[in-house]
Structure 1
């Protein structure tokens, strides 16, 4: 009887298991890299896991939670944290984006160590962008041209701006 690896039937049965083990190892490595604050390497590892086994459950949620962190750190844009490219987005678009992400990061949907803090980031984005005064203050902070910056009559708006600035940085 030939050794098991020389047997094509045995090798064919073993191959999917090995691929799955490699994908799980990449996922676990991504989690460790994220814990060590190496978001780019974590993204690379989770993408590698997806290439090895695109059917491994939860990989898209892991990827999304890492991306929320990367966007928050690099851009400091609450719009981009929610996956919205235009700061003139309407309330419905903001709500839909928020609700979709909130669904992704529920504990029963995503077991990534990044999910809890990603959820905190999208909640903060929602709190700022769903409140008209806070959103206006945020627009001033970010330098968007569609607001009148010289209107100093609304002092509460500028107090809100100071709070948002502290939370975002």
Structure 2
């Protein structure tokens, strides 16, 4: 499971770095500061992902914990966003919420836009949860390997050491 989590983490790292570069280029072209914020967020997240990969390779679980914590915060926020989006979708059915579009726009209707976006967001959320679960299993595998190694080392030390009486 550790190798699967490393592969998933490397794919996530590649996606984060390419998104950070894309947002930075978009910021430089348009002069809008919002893409720079997203570029910074993706860059910081890619640093944590790199720590996760290094921790998985070297069996250092302390390097893996910050990424798992960051992912937990991200997933919680994303779940809340999806819930709010579906509430807005319910309101759009009764024409209480409108998305901005021009009168000459012949694309999706208000209801179609909200439902389609809600379905896409839900699919992305489920994929993110599955990937996070794979990465958590990789962390558990590393932790179990470390615990087994610690138990073996401790057993060897106990076997080699001579017990001395303790005086109370």
TM-score exceeds 0.5: no
Higher RCO, 1 vs 2 (CA within 8 Å, ≥6 residues apart): 2
TM-score, length-scaled by structure 1: 0.30
Larger radius of gyration: 2
TM-score, length-scaled by structure 2: 0.30
Going by fraction, where is helix more abundant, 1 or 2? 2
